[in-house]
Amino acid sequence: MADGGVVKSLLQLLENLNNGIDSLEAASSLGVDHQAIVGAVKSLQAIGNVISAELRSSKHCGLTAEGTEVVEQGSHEARVFNCIPPEGFPHNDLMKLPFGKIGFSKALLNKWIRLDKTSEGGPKIFRNVKNIEDHVREKLLLVMKGNATELNEKDKTELKKRTLLSEVTVKSYWIVKGSSFSTTLTKHDTDLTAEMIVAGSWKGKKFKPYNFDAWGAAPDSGHLHPLMKVRTEFRQIFLEMGFTEMPTNNFIESSFWNFDSLFQPQQHPARDQHDTFFLSDPEISHEFPHDYLVRVKTVHTEGGFGSQGYKYEWKTEEAQKNILRTHTTAVSARMLYKLAQQEEFSPIKYFSIDRVFRNETLDATHLAEFHQIEGVVADYGLTLGDLMGILHQFFTKLGLNKWVEVGNSGIFRPEMLLPMGLPEDVSVIAWGLSLERPTMIKYGINNIRELVGHKVNLQMVYDSPICRLDGKPPRLRA
């Protein structure tokens, strides 16, 4: 609400005017800041039709900070002229002054000074005239006093080039008397109460108009989705354990990376349309690492790396089919292949949390999409003991006495890793969970051995195409 004194003064000013008045002129007449007048205008507008105010915009010339300095101390060239004594001034010393460089060139152009390069001790500057007139300062004084209209366009352009003058847009109100104008204001009621209606007193009251354009109070509501909270918690755990997040923004994947590279046979039930969404456009992919594709085909059809393979006719057309990825392990396969192409292997720890898609019957606990959580570690000589240790750390950070999904874990098969080009003594351990899926068991244990043992089995997938145990006993570590 504007100051009551300003409001009253503005009304008294309008009372004596036949026409309206600009708010800038009103501020000048009343000797107050323009913003005070603007506040008074808005307060009066809220009351009713006491005044009418039209917002206007106009462009005015104003002094820059440098222009204000020129008004106070003189132009650069005038200051240069005034600092030169009769015996001259060393050129090098002048260039060290704040106004020296600009002032020297302008004063030289005006022929106020001359430069003598033959002077003893180095070049010196001498006055070339007895007196000068600082026209630049005089022009800026006009602007400061509000008489910028007396300047021609050429002068304005020159002063703008020297960044002494700027053009600013000024917004003001043209204020006129309203249909209900009065210098005496009556406070309007803002609420219609039940008592007013019963007594009929509302008939003799004036109510403040309702402002339909006013912003309402922001509702104190809105929270993160529970799944997003859990996602953030899982992500933070992975980052604390030194994992790097994999790029998982490609929902569309080829069957090659989603199935074949993971040593899953092409006749596997998961590759049926009852379980997987296949794309019709684009229906197939064309770009694959050729040598790697050949090695994958060979290990499927003929075996290798200690495996006899599946002994079937592997088809490139089947591997080319595009799908909505059924798991983020397709991304893990890409990242492991990329890792294998490095000149020298370096251990990695990757994780991902992103959406996957399954062609399933919708019910209360299943949707066609959900979020998969995946952790992958590749290093020399990893064993089941390493997997148990990292799971212990992972679930300890997650916290006990919580509802968590029991997920799958294991060691990737050599038939998957060696065709990629990874060294033979490199192992990859991995595990996966889901944010939404309801395969949950509440656990409250203090030892990961119980978790991997008979109480709750974070199962090793012995028969998975991706993971297997190679027959060697696990080497447990403390």
Residue 440 belongs to domain spanning: 227-463
- Has residue 175 been placed in a domain? no
Q: In 3D, which of 173, 205, 204 has the Cα closest to residue 188?
A: 205
Listed residues 118, 144, 162: the one ending a domain: 162
pTM score > 0.95 for this model? Answer: no
Q: In 3D, which of 377, 391, 329, 375 has the Cα closest to residue 349?
A: 377
HSE-up (13 A, CA, CB side) for residue 431: 22
Which residue do the tokens 């003189």 mark? 74
Listed residues 131, 162, 193: the one ending a domain: 162
- Has residue 87 been placed in a domain? yes
Average pLDDT of the residues in 126-148: 89
Angstrom distance (rounded) from CA 4 to CA 187: 12
Q: 261: buried, middle or exposed (CB in 10 Å: 19+, 13-18, 0-12)? A: buried
Domain count, the chain: 2
Angstrom distance (rounded) from CA 325 to CA 370: 11
Residue ranges of alpha helices (H) inside 321-454 are: 329-340, 384-398, 414-417, 448-452
Q: In 3D, which of 35, 29, 4, 21 has the Cα closest to residue 183?
A: 4
Domain of 157: which CATH number?
Answer: 1.10.10.2330
The count of other CB atoms within 10 Å of the CB of residue 105 is: 13
Angstrom distance (rounded) from CA 99 to CA 312: 88
Q: What is the pLDDT of residue 455?
A: 33
Q: What is the pLDDT of residue 403?
A: 59
189-235 confidence digits (pLDDT tens) = 778 889 989 999 888 887 777 778 888 888 777 888 888 888 999 99
Lowest mean pLDDT segment, chosen from 116-120, 377-381, 425-429: 116-120
Same domain, 279 and 424: yes
φ and ψ at 60, to 5 degrees?
-130, 155
- Has residue 198 been placed in a domain? no
- Has residue 409 been placed in a domain? yes
